[in-house]
A and B are shown apart, each in its own frame.
Chain A
């Protein structure tokens, strides 16, 4: 079992990893992993890129307004806004006279404050009018609102989240952005036992946040390897539940804001080893392929079809995305 093998890994940091970890302020095991995945040069590039904060990015809500009209409106108030080439609805805010969450345009629902990598996930689900889509960890609502936006509020979204506080934010964002084709359910997605089978499911799994070091540098030292494995186990359980709710022929997009293979490829590999009716589809968004070998542990070749976003290559936060299809 892949997850078990990974759980038993004892990652020993090399001298080089220790020196880099000390220079950039990381726990040594993390840097050793980056060297394993990217080679020494790539790891240094990643560590350097993580030193630069993420740009302020927003997603314009073209259900309510055009992106050009939003740019014009914000620029008339002293903002400097440019299109984000990675995502069709993404905008980079280069100058902001006031907080992005305090403008009338924000309160009107004309945009959502969202990191660039996170904006790409919903495109892979291709929400269409008439779809019924399950979002298994929906709060605070970045991807949930994007699903409804991409279908012009004509797909029906079933949004589930377990957190009482975060679910309030989800409801608020859905209302603010004026969507009305949704059902919010508070609960643990692993235990809900839907009788309904969905053709499209999004699981943006809770992660250790290793992908957002550019936003939260404290993550360089805050999580041990054991913490990562606890989260990986939760992610696996959520994904397994998601596959139970998925109709034959349906698509499940799994994502996690992380660069840790334990939370990405290893979870997918575990699923592929257990279920022979799941295949991995290629992604359409810009990405680097998933890794297939990690500290001498082999993952199924299909895992290469999953995608990774890197701060030093894509200019985003670190992200893992994978599209699973349940065969009939």
Chain B
């Protein structure tokens, strides 16, 4: 969204804290340059989109003197009440770490992978990578057995059964992306 009341700014201290908290929980600290994070601030918005911007973008942005609709690497959005919602581009970046076993991630066989991209919850997820690291958070990147990054998932307990539900899944590009 872009209106006359839109501006791009550095994150406030509490906003940065929310982002940092998520990155530490998911063991992803270090994959984002915290000094390069900018917030697209839309007056009256209920959430704020966060971007990692390199120096070139920052320079051009200043010289073109226009508020952007979107820019750089989209990290996710901050909802002051619900916290940080990671983006699909961040999932792609995190999945690289999953593939080398550096962080925990959910790995789905082909059929389940397909269901996940339809935004469906799945029974009995398998957590790959170093499972001992998973105790801090149940949010993790989701991959197919073929190694395709599928998005972010989180576990939920329903009638004592553990489900993996999408926080954001690749199917978003078809359902909402346009």
Interface residues of A (CB under 8 A from B): 101-102, 104, 107-108, 132, 140, 156, 158, 165-169, 171-176, 178, 180-187, 192, 194-196
The reply to whether B60 and A175 contact each other, CB–CB distance below 8 Å, is: no
B7 to chain A, nearest CB (A): 14
Q: Is the CB of B174 within 8 A of A192?
A: no
For B112-124 the 0/1 string (1 means CB < 8 A from A) is 0100010000000
Interface string of B42-67 (1 = CB under 8 A from A): 00000000001010110011011111
One of A171, A176, A182, A185 near B66 (C-beta < 8 A): A185
Bound form: Cα–Cα A133–B60 in Å: 11
**Which residues of chain B are near A158, meaning CB under 8 Å?**
60, 64
Q: Which residues of B contact A (CB under 8 A)?
A: 2, 52, 54, 56-57, 60-61, 63-74, 87-89, 92, 113, 117, 144, 146, 148-149, 170-171, 173-174, 176-178
29 A-B residue pairings within 8 Å (CB atoms) = A101-B174, A104-B146, A107-B117, A107-B173, A108-B148, A167-B69, A168-B178, A172-B176, A173-B177, A174-B70, A175-B88, A175-B89, A176-B173, A178-B92, A181-B54, A182-B70, A183-B57, A183-B68, A183-B70, A183-B71, A184-B68, A184-B69, A185-B66, A186-B2, A186-B69, A187-B66, A195-B65, A196-B60, A196-B64
Question: Which chain A residue has the least Cβ–Cβ distance from B148?
Answer: A104
In the complex, what's the smallest C-beta–C-beta distance from B169 to chain A, in angstroms?
9
A-chain residues with CB within 8 Å of residue B52 when the two chains form the complex: 180
Known: A104-B117, A104-B144, A178-B92. A183 touches B174 (CB 8 A): no
Contacts of A101 in B (CB 8 A): 174
Nearest chain B residue, comparing its CB with the CB of A99: B174
Central interface residue in B65, B70, B170, by most chain A CB within 10 Å: B70
B148 touches A181 (CB 8 A): no
- Residues on B with beta carbons closer than 8 Å to the beta carbon of A183: 57, 60-61, 64, 68, 70-72
A116 to B106, CA, bound (A): 39
